[in-house]
């Protein structure tokens, strides 16, 4: 199958540091190529892929200065649609900007919405206008704010099975991975009350962000690692007693959780959004509603089998499984388009 994967422009594919959506696009693209499909990746320059890369604009938005999102996105979409006839299917991962163009051309297309959806005043009229656009969710919880959209499937994110190795014997610390606003303050409090050190791999956007959002949370028991890549994640997560994921909003998925499970590391998480779809309470971690409950969960973390965490990852959250489920959706839309085209040429 000839497939176009259209990535967000904020980070390269894969990202150098933080960047969940771009990371998943990379895993999906590489797995589709490995399975023998002809894939073109539309992404920012600096991206690395075994697919054909089309990078119509310069470096990723996050890496450049004074980059104009409208200009970059316009060039990206022009590159996609001037080549659209050469594909069997277009798969977008970059929000909503392609909607007007995509539904005015004949190549079947799908859109994965990677982040949280909210009933924002500007977004609801937009989605009402484009309620015929086929969408894929990354969790059932992601659909909750806007259930009336044209959801055609849910595909959980996945990572390569061999990206992280199982660690049966952890160290004596807790881990936090992600943006500070995803619960770092709570993680610091949980670790402090549990009497355990906390290792923090967190995105630092700039000096002002560090001073306002991160420095006030640093304590003697907190070790700040900054942003880390896959090797650093394997070391951090594999050696942790547990990953703390005390999210306070409706999380659409939470890639850090399956990265922890891949290492065999259980997760202590707040019960928000998609978290209960990823973590089975009492089996691969504990679901909590308060800091006090999370502290109690950390005390019970030895009850969770690290081998079971890895088994669940291999069963539910690999890139191979993700690609297989996407391909099933691709085939439905490609075959439907082909049937419609045949019907259009039949005599009345």
69-83 pLDDT, tens digit each: 788 888 999 999 999
pLDDT at 345: 67
pLDDT tens by residue, 80-104: 999 999 999 999 998 899 999 999 9
Please give the average per-residue pLDDT across 38-51, as a whole number. 94
| Structural domains of the chain, ranges and CATH numbers in brackets | 2-160+318-345 (3.40.50.2000), 174-316 (3.40.50.2000)
Cα separation, 260 vs 240, in Å, equals 9
- Percent of the chain scoring above 70 in pLDDT: 93
Task: Answer yes or no: is pLDDT of 255 > 90.
Answer: yes
Higher pLDDT, 44 or 333: 333
Q: Are 54 and 83 in contact (CB under 8 A)?
A: yes
Please give the average per-residue pLDDT across 37-52, as a whole number. 95
pLDDT at 63: 57
Written as six digits, the tokens of 195 are: 């009497």
pLDDT tens by residue, 52-61: 999 987 666 6
Higher pLDDT, 12 or 327: 327
Please give the average per-residue pLDDT across 27-31, as a whole number. 98
Average pLDDT over the chain reads: 91
pLDDT tens by residue, 237-248: 999 999 999 998
Please give the average per-residue pLDDT across 183-194, as a whole number. 94
Task: Answer yes or no: is pLDDT of 50 > 60.
Answer: yes
Residue 8: closest CA among 105, 79, 114: 114
Q: Helix axis angle, 230-238 relative to 255-263, nearest 10°?
A: 60
In three-state secondary structure terms, 242 is strand
Written as six digits, the tokens of 135 are: 């969408």
pLDDT band at residue 20 under the 50/70/90 scheme = confident
Predicted model pTM: 0.92
pLDDT at 151: 97
Q: Are 117 and 146 in contact (CB under 8 A)?
A: yes
Task: Answer yes or no: is pLDDT of 344 > 90.
Answer: no
Burial of 221 by CB count in 10 Å (0-12 exposed, 13-18 middle, 19+ buried)? middle
Please give the average per-residue pLDDT across 324-342, as a whole number. 91
Please give the average per-residue pLDDT across 196-217, as a whole number. 80
Please give the average per-residue pLDDT across 155-164, as a whole number. 97
User: Can you list the positions of beta strands (E) in the chain?
Assistant: 2-6, 38-42, 52-54, 89-92, 109-112, 135-137, 151-154, 174-178, 198-202, 222-224, 242-245, 267-270, 285-288
pLDDT at 206: 65
pLDDT at 18: 67
Task: Answer yes or no: is pLDDT of 197 > 70.
Answer: yes
């Amino acid at each position: 199958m000839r497939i176009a994967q259209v990535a967000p422009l904020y980070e390269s594919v894969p990202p150098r540091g933080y960047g969940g959506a771009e990371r998943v696009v990379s895993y999906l693209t590489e797995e589709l190529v490995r399975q023998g499909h002809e894939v073109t990746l539309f992404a920012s320059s600096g991206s690395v892929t075994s697919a054909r890369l089309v990078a119509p604009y310069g470096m990723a938005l996050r890496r450049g200065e004074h980059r104009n999102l409208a200009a970059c996105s316009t060039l990206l979409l022009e590159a996609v649609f001037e080549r659209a006839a050469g594909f069997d299917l277009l798969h977008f991962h970059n929000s909503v900007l392609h909607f007007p163009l995509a539904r005015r051309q004949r190549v079947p297309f799908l859109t994965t919405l990677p982040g949280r959806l909210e009933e924002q005043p500007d977004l609801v009229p937009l989605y009402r206008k484009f309620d015929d656009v086929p969408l894929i969710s990354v969790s059932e919880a992601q659909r909750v704010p806007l259930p009336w959209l044209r959801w055609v499937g849910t595909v959980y994110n996945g990572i390569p099975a061999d990206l992280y190795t199982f660690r049966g014997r952890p160290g004596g610390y807790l881990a936090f991975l992600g943006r500070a606003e995803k619960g770092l303050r709570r993680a610091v409090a949980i670790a402090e009350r549990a009497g355990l050190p906390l290792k923090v791999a967190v995105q630092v956007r700039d000096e002002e962000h560090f001073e306002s959002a991160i420095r006030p949370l640093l304590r003697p028991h907190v070790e700040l690692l900054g942003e880390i890549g896959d090797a650093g994640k394997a070391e951090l997560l594999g050696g942790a007693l547990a990953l703390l994921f005390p999210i306070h909003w409706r999380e659409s998925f939470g890639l850090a959780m399956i990265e922890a499970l891949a290492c065999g590391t259980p997760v202590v998480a707040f019960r928000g959004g998609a978290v209960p779809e990823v973590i089975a309470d009492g089996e691969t971690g504990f679901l909590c509603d308060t800091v006090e409950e999370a502290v109690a969960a950390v005390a019970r973390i030895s009850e969770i089998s690290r081998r079971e965490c890895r088994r669940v990852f291999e069963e539910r959250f690999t890139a191979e499984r993700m690609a297989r489920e996407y391909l099933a959706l691709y085939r439905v839309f490609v075959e439907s388009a082909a049937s419609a085209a045949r019907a259009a040429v039949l005599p009345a």
